[in-house]
Structure 1
Amino acid sequence: MSNIQEQINILVEVQGVELEIHQADRLVNALNNESAALDRSIAEREIRVSSEKAALDDLKKTYRDLESESKINAGMIVKSNEKLRAVKTNKEYQSILKEIDEIRKKNSGIEDRMLEQLEAIESAEAAVKAKEMELASFVQSYQEKKEAFAAKEKRERQAVESLNEKKARISANVDPSLITVMDDVKKKVRGLAVVPVQQAICMGCHMNIPAQLFNELQRFDELRFCPHCHRIIYWKERE
């Protein structure tokens, strides 16, 4: 096997390891994205529960305000009844009775609203309880998934570390200038930098290369490039 052929074989091997690293990095990023999506989901659920609780608190506050107003009105009725015992004219008596009647009517409306608030509070409490149970269930699932994502990410990061070490070992056996050439080509083509040629067809761009270049490739005497996509090319027998 010629020296250039050996060097190309090493470049292909390095490229293969780089692909594995890229795939592992993509998986790590995907795991991070899924983990972030989980975080957003649980935050949204917590906000919904907080919103439900805030709405319940508002209902309870409104009920307390109505209850306080009702007690004030009840006190006013008691005082008006006491005034009745002290009146001396029929006109004053009728006036106080009218006043008591208006307060009672007002209180009746307040009591109706209090009943409506109690129903709303009961419904809101049920909604809050359901949301809290749903959140608790989701939190348990969330924690399990987060732990699974963390474990997978750790494995993938270890794999990337191992692959980088493998790449360094393999790269040590190739001319550094060839690694530089491969990196430059990779940046330009944004994909595989080293590809085989089979039956005079570049496997990178799938275009036919000139017959003379195809014959020269089989000599493995120097690095050659596809005239169409400018990738590094090498001859490979059809399997």
Structure 2
Amino acid sequence: MSNIQEQINILVEVQGVELEILQAGRLVNALNDEAAALDRAVAEREALVASEKATLDDLRKAYRDLESEAKLNAAMIVKSNEKLRAVKTNKEYQSILKEIDEIRKKNSGIEDRMLEYLETIESAEAAVKAKEEELAGFIQSYNEKKETFAVKEMRERKAVEALNEKKARISAHADPHVITVLDDVKKKVRGLAVVPVQQAICMGCHMNIPAQLFNELQRFDELRFCPHCHRIIYWKEPR
């Protein structure tokens, strides 16, 4: 086997390892994307629960405000009743009675609103409880999935480390100049940088190469490049 053929074999092997590294890296990125999507889903659900709890708090505060107003009015009624015992004229008596009646009507309206609030609060509490239970279940599932993602990601990162070590071992047997050429070609083309030629067709761009170049490839006396896509090409003996 010629030296150039050996170098091409090394390049092909290095390229294969790089593809494995790329695939593992893509899987790591996919796992990170899935984990990020889960994080967003949890955050959205937590925000929804927080919003509904804030609404519930507002309802409770409004109820307490009405309750305080009703108590204040009840106290005013008590004071007005005390004043009735001290009045000396019928006019004053009728005026206080009217005042008490107005306060009672006002309180009646407040009490009606309080009942409405209680019904709304009860419904809101049930909705919040249901959402919290749903969130708790989702978070449990989220934690399990995150743990699975973490295990898979760690496995893929270790695989990448092992592949990088393998690449380094293989590259150590290559001519530094050949590795430099490979790196230069990789910057210029998309996909594979080293491809075989079969039946005078470049397997990178699937274009025919000149007959003379095809014959020269079989000599394995130097690196050669596809005149169309500029990849490193080599002759692959048909099986």
Query: Structure 1 length as normaliser, TM-score?
Result: 0.98
Q: CA deviation at 1:238?
A: 3.1
2:39 maps to amino acid: D
DSSP 3-state at the match of 2:173: coil
1:21-49 CA distance string (max 9 Å, x none): 01101111111111111112112211111
Cα RMSD (Å): 0.9
What's the counterpart of residue 114 of structure 1?
A: 114
1:210 maps to amino acid: P
1:164-194 CA distance string (max 9 Å, x none): 1111111111101111101110111022100
2:112 maps to amino acid: D
CA distance in 1: counterparts of 2:238 and 2:129, whole angstroms: 68
1:76 maps to amino acid: M
1:50-93 CA distance string (max 9 Å, x none): 11111111111111110010001011111111211222222111
DSSP 3-state at the match of 1:161: helix
CA distance in 2: counterparts of 1:172 and 1:122, whole angstroms: 73
**Pairs within 5 Å for 1:200-215:** 200-215=200-215
1:225 maps to amino acid: F
DSSP 3-state at the match of 1:115: helix
**Pairs within 5 Å for 1:188-207:** 188-207=188-207
Query: Structure 2 length as normaliser, TM-score?
Result: 0.98
DSSP 3-state at the match of 2:234: strand
CA distance in 2: counterparts of 1:52 and 1:153, whole angstroms: 36
Deviates more, 1:82-91 or 1:205-214: 82-91
1:123-174 CA distance string (max 9 Å, x none): 1110110111011101110110010000000000010010011111111111
CA distance in 1: counterparts of 2:53 and 2:19, whole angstroms: 51
What's the counterpart of residue 104 of structure 1?
A: 104
What's the counterpart of residue 31 of structure 1?
A: 31
DSSP 3-state at the match of 1:129: helix
- Matched pairs, number: 239
1:192 maps to amino acid: L
Q: CA deviation at 1:10?
A: 0.9
Q: Is there any run of 5+ residues in structure 2 with no aligned partner, and where? A: none
What's the counterpart of residue 124 of structure 2?
A: 124
CA distance in 1: counterparts of 2:105 and 2:207, whole angstroms: 93
CA distance in 1: counterparts of 2:45 and 2:117, whole angstroms: 26
1:172 maps to amino acid: A
What's the counterpart of residue 169 of structure 1?
A: 169
1:128 maps to amino acid: V
**Pairs within 5 Å for 1:22-171:** 22-171=22-171
CA distance in 2: counterparts of 1:76 and 1:166, whole angstroms: 89
